[in-house]
Chains A and B, each alone.
Chain A
């Protein structure tokens, strides 16, 4: 059980980092990124490819973050003239194209098999401690990212983003360069998310294409919306809840003695139901964004 909890916390932490990243775009800047998982995918594949090519594995994470930021720059450029909904689909398109490249170009990415045997971190430590150390690392990163992202949101940059989110024409007229705001927001968010993706690859010793499916982005969105978009505490709460539900489903199934031919239906149904109940009950998320009081 102990091991399982550690792994649930670690995975939750990785998702938390990605969701905090998404929050910088979606929450603060109102940018609907439906291809967000692509940043994580780039991070994961960077680590994987570093391993495949036999480069020092320590280079994986930095390369991943750099590649993520670059992709972020590109995606933000794409949005120069696009309205929110349209940009959302454009990002989805980019993510899908990247995924297809990952599936098809097996000389680089291992093809549909993905890249296996990626070395983990802390593997020199003894059995439970390597997992504990990894969890500690992830929790540390989550706290750091949460702290900085809250700062970003409450500070002057975040305020500019929020004005852009709600009234772009007003923001322009006040002298903000929307394109630059958007680019910087997406790039910061990409950096964080690519880092999480790289850590994912190390943790699971694996980078593959299923991880880059659009459904994964929707998981991130779910976490974001349940907790409360735009608010760091809300985001974290959302991640904890969704991750708890995901982790609990197999146990609930065992507990209620559901026959295993219903296991799949039950898993989907329960997650859908809980999500729906949450949304209906607290429509703005559990911790809705508040008006910020300038200190």
Chain B
């Protein structure tokens, strides 16, 4: 009995490999879940993951393979907007369904009919963070983010939203990833004498930033982590202790707890980011959509997704509903803080 195949393109090597691997785990758990529940129309669901190597050419070749050789009806992924966008563009042109589980560029919205999006895009995230920071009474904030599509989006967007509220962004730094130290960037920010810092960063880079911020004595001001689980994943707990932050809505509720449990048993460690939850939801949703439409073609998936969303679907990241453009309405965000070495809601 043939399995029904779906595809994913993820950064399994290169600078975003950590998150790529985290997403892959989510997908894997999702497939296991669907199959444990009886699969898709009585068949097993199978997942083909291709490496993008953080390179658009490789990613597009991988997407092409998935679309034209494996003939999968739906492809999930990438993480970097600069790769997700061309890949999704191609997939939509081929009529394959694309499911965004990692990129937050607002351009995701205009990809076309067969493009769906599960996560909150940067404009929503920025608005959420700006309101949260403002509500905490902070008015003069310095921002440090990586110099890529994501970081640029956060930095510019946050400033815009924050200033709309009447706050002031004292300094912005787009740091170049992969350096051995960010002391100099941090010190430049400190010269602006902000009353709080907002940062967003990937695992080990954030670890350096957090450690050095502490060494430089900058932690006497509040630190706000944007996409907190990603930002503190590799930082020793005693260093990040006391930070606050926001998060793309993470796994929550009973469903979420069960999922976190499953993740823990499968991989012997906690989440490395929130993205695995979206990846998991993506797969489960697709399984449901196929069952709903009773077919596994791209058109079926597209139809099924709409239908499932109409009926109301709850994933580990909360209730999922798509608007007419295939975008998740009211994508969830959480407010978190790090206390006693644990990320807890605040």
Chain A interfacial positions (CB closer than 8 Å to B): 1-4, 7-8, 11, 103-104, 106, 111-114, 116-117, 204-206, 208-211, 213, 215-216, 246-247, 250-251, 254, 260-261, 263-265, 267-268
Contact = CB atoms under 8 A, between A and B. Distances in A.
B68 A210 contact: no
Given A263-B12, A264-B17, A264-B53, A104 B65 contact: no
A117 to B, nearest CB: 7
Given A11-B57, A260-B28, A267-B13, A113 B65 contact: no
A264 B64 contact: no
B35 interface: no
A114 B82 contact: yes
B86 A206 contact: yes
B58 A246 contact: yes
Nearest to B85: A116
Given A11-B57, A103-B148, A251-B69, 20 more contacts: A1-B68, A3-B67, A4-B65, A4-B68, A7-B68, A111-B152, A112-B81, A113-B85, A113-B107, A114-B82, A114-B86, A204-B57, A208-B83, A210-B55, A211-B55, A216-B55, A250-B50, A264-B12, A264-B20, A267-B12
Contacts of A103: 147-148
B149 interface: yes
B86 A112 contact: no
Contact of A112 (B57, B90, B152): B152
Interface string B295-331: 0000000000000000000000000000000000000
A206 B56 CA distance: 9
A102 B81 CA distance: 15
A261 B12 CA distance: 8
Contacts of A205: 86, 89-90
B62 interface: yes
The prevalent SS among residues of A at the interface is helix
A7 B28 CA distance: 29
Contact of B55 (A8, A213, A254): A213
Given A113-B82, A210-B55, A246-B58, A263 B50 contact: yes
15 contacts: A3-B64, A4-B64, A104-B147, A106-B152, A116-B86, A208-B86, A210-B54, A210-B55, A211-B55, A211-B56, A251-B65, A260-B28, A261-B21, A261-B28, A268-B53
B13 A268 contact: yes
A106 B149 CA distance: 10
A114 B58 CA distance: 16
Nearest to A14: B57
B149 A3 contact: no
Contacts of B82: 112-114, 208-210
B75 interface: no
Contacts of A2: 68
Contact of B62 (A211, A250, A261): A250
A110 to B, nearest CB: 9
A-B interface, 3 closest residue pairs, ranked by CB to CB distance from nearest = A264-B12, A260-B49, A3-B68
Interface string B134-177: 00000000000001111110000000000000000000001000
B49 A210 contact: no
Contacts of B147: 103-104, 112
A111 B55 contact: no
B61 A254 contact: no
A267 B58 CA distance: 11
B152 A116 contact: no
B51 interface: yes
Contact of B61 (A11, A106, A208, A260): A11
Nearest to B95: A127
A2 B28 CA distance: 30
A113 B81 contact: yes
A7 B63 CA distance: 11
Chain B CB count within 10 A is highest, among A7, A216, A250, for: A250
Contacts of B56: 114, 204, 206, 208, 210-211
B47 interface: yes
Given A114-B85, A210-B82, A260 B64 contact: no
B9 to A, nearest CB: 10
B8 to A, nearest CB: 8
A267 B47 CA distance: 18
B105 A254 contact: no
B60 interface: yes
Contacts of A265: 12-13
B98 interface: no
Given A112-B82, A209-B82, A268-B13, A254 B48 contact: yes
B61 A264 contact: no
A210 B16 CA distance: 13
B89 A117 contact: yes
Contacts of B13: 264-265, 267-268
A263 B61 CA distance: 15
B24 interface: yes
Contacts of A261: 12, 21, 24-25, 28
A117 B68 CA distance: 21
Contacts of A104: 147, 174
Interface string B13-38: 10001001100110010000000000
Given A112-B148, A263-B12, A206 B68 contact: no
Nearest to B59: A210
Interface string B88-124: 0110000000000000010100000000000000000
Nearest to B103: A113
B344 to A, nearest CB: 30
